Amino acid sequence: MPLQKNIRVRFAPSPTGPLHIGGVRTALYNYLFAKKHGGQCILRIEDTDSGRFVPGAEAYIIDALAWLGIRFDEGTVQGGPFAPYRQSERKAIYKTYVDQLISEGKAYIAFDTPAQLDQKRAEISNFQYDASTRMQMINSLTCSAEAVQARMDQGEPYVVRFKVEPDQEVRISDLIRGDVSFQSNVLDDKVLFKSADQLPTYHLANIVDDHLMEISHVIRGEEWLPSAPLHVLLYKALGWEDSMPSFAHLPLLLKPEGNGKLSKRDGDRLGFPVFPCDWTDPKTGDKSSGYREAGYFPEAVINFLALLGWNPGDDQEVRSMEELIRDFSLEKCSKSGARFDYEKGKWFNHQYLLSKTPETLAEAFRETLISKGFQPDANEQTEFNATDSHISMGYIVKAIALVKERATFVSDFWEQAGFFFERPNTYAEKNVKKFWKADTANLMQALYEQLDQLDCSDPHATETAVMDWINRNEYKTGAVMNAFRLSLVGESKGPHLFDIVALLGKKESLLRLKQAIETLK
Ligand code: GLU
């Protein structure tokens, strides 16, 4: 059996803004893969593109992934044997390898200014800086060593370019896509280093760090597949071919309609978040909404994302992080894009909400009640009490237990259960039209007298007694129930009617009946 190398993966975001939900999925798959194989998952911040650096983005990424329960073994926060993990702090390391490539003739120095490059682009259609054009440019291949030195001594800015050899076939064996091959001719002589900020570009820093940090598998989005041949050539040029990591390029997340890549605009257009947490752009003040603030449970987001592009092969949908780790495999990731089905995301949240106890949900609902002026506490109250802003946690728990089936988010509880805390003072017009007829007031008065003789604390017993009474008098069940519900709730919604009566209590239920009769007469 071949020796299994130690599994080490990395999530390597560039702090250029909030982390897109597709990036979260990449982080998740790296995490699942590492944990499944008892390996390490590393967070590396790729911030060498100073022009695109956005303050706050790194902290956002760390905070969002921590909220979701994606934990790193090494990174900017926890440190580790290969620290530092922020590329801007590793400048000197990259410089060594840039110098190595230059001295071995595998890279060269180029002085072309942006204006000169533009001019070439105007002259030559589809201009690419490569083997076919590099000898017409201003670089260390076309200038003498003295001239190059003189330009550098004068402080003229330059870049270092990778010298891509033409007519080579570059093969990548991708764990998701199989063998993919590229012609080196499609590649340009990529910039590896810029003298202006003394920083390497993404490509060089990425390869050097993957090598030095002993990364075994590069798991990243499909958008990086076109960079893979360049990366393979760089590994070879640096003499690291034998320790090259395996690649796995994940499928795109597609728009809900299924055509094209999911973007922030789709979220804005269809009203769902495409970021894990809220974000305000520090320059433009532009706001983007996140799953956390929209009321999602982190487990639901994880479960939802895990199944977007990975198919475990059975129909169990609700899976805990432990189960995801146990079952995850790159082989079962699909090549084709995964349609982003937002309704499915809500469905997952509903499932996780149902799996929580009413006690836990009541705790989460407390804040809403406080914001409405209530004081949830440990008092003994068991029934509705209009004169006291204190409500017992016990009462809240019972209300939640009755409505949780109907909620997707904790924030739905007020809409679903508000009438357990506030007596209705209006009645929904369209329900009144439908359910409150000329004789309804009399009918409700009769019901009032009937209920007054009952105890009302056992929903079952109340229901039996009321049904008996309806049958004896040959009333229409619907006529009684609809008007009764309207009186208690203020509209035609809510859980089982006699559960409502039991929780509100007899006194309050009668009061609400009386109020409806007087108001709607
Ligand atoms: N810094 C790149 C990014 O922002 C990393 C790509 C990779 O994983 O190689 O996604």
pLDDT tens for 23-69 read 999 999 999 999 999 999 999 999 999 889 999 999 999 999 999 99
Where a domain ends, among 153, 185, 209? Answer: 209
Structural domain includes residue 274: no
**pLDDT at residue 2 in the model:** 47
Structural domain includes residue 106: yes
Whether 224 is in the pocket of ligand 1, judged by its Cβ within 6 Å, is: yes
Can you give the pTM of this predicted structure? 0.93
Domain count, the chain: 2
Whether 14 is in the pocket of ligand 1, judged by its Cβ within 6 Å, is: yes
Among residues 36, 264, 356, 493, the one annotated as catalytic is 264
Nearest atom in ligand 1 to 10's CA: 8
**pLDDT at residue 340 in the model:** 95
Positions of the chain with pLDDT under 50: 1-3
Whether 13 is in the pocket of ligand 1, judged by its Cβ within 6 Å, is: yes
Q: Extract the tokens encoding 128.
A: 């690419």
Q: Please tell me the distance from the alpha carbon of residue 148 to that of residue 158, in angstroms, as a whole number.
A: 10
Residue pair 467/422 in contact by the 8 Å Cβ criterion: no
Whether 46 is in the pocket of ligand 1, judged by its Cβ within 6 Å, is: yes
Q: Which helix (H) or strand (E) holds 9?
A: strand 8-11
Q: Extract the tokens encoding 28.
A: 């998740």
Query: 412-416: which pairs have CB atoms within 8 A and are 24 or more residues apart?
Result: 413/361, 413/365, 413/368, 414/365, 414/368, 414/372, 416/493, 416/494
CA of 220 to the centre of ligand 1 (A): 7
CA of 206 to the centre of ligand 1 (A): 8
- Which CATH number do you get for residue 409? 1.10.10.350
**pLDDT at residue 379 in the model:** 86
Structural domain includes residue 279: no
Structural domain includes residue 297: no
Q: Please tell me the distance from the alpha carbon of residue 110 to that of residue 196, in angstroms, as a whole number.
A: 13
* pLDDT tens-digit readout, 394-419: 999 999 999 999 999 999 999 999 99
Structural domain includes residue 478: yes
Question: In a mutational test of the pocket of ligand 1, which residue from 25, 46, 52, 211 has the highest number of ligand atoms less than 8 Å from its CB?
Answer: 46
Residue nearest to atom 5 of ligand 1 (CA): 12
Structural domain includes residue 430: yes
**pLDDT at residue 483 in the model:** 98
Residue nearest to atom 2 of ligand 1 (CA): 13
Q: State the residue range of the domain holding 102.
A: 90-209
Q: Please tell me the distance from the alpha carbon of residue 370 to that of residue 516, in angstroms, as a whole number.
A: 28
- Which CATH number do you get for residue 165? 3.90.800.10
DSSP 275: B
Structural domain includes residue 124: yes
**pLDDT at residue 386 in the model:** 87
Where a domain ends, among 161, 177, 209? Answer: 209
Where a domain ends, among 163, 184, 209? Answer: 209
Structural domain includes residue 420: yes
Q: Is 507 a catalytic site residue?
A: no
Residue pair 375/391 in contact by the 8 Å Cβ criterion: yes
Nearest atom in ligand 1 to 231's CA: 9
CA of 117 to the centre of ligand 1 (A): 27
Name residue 377's beta-bridge partners: 392
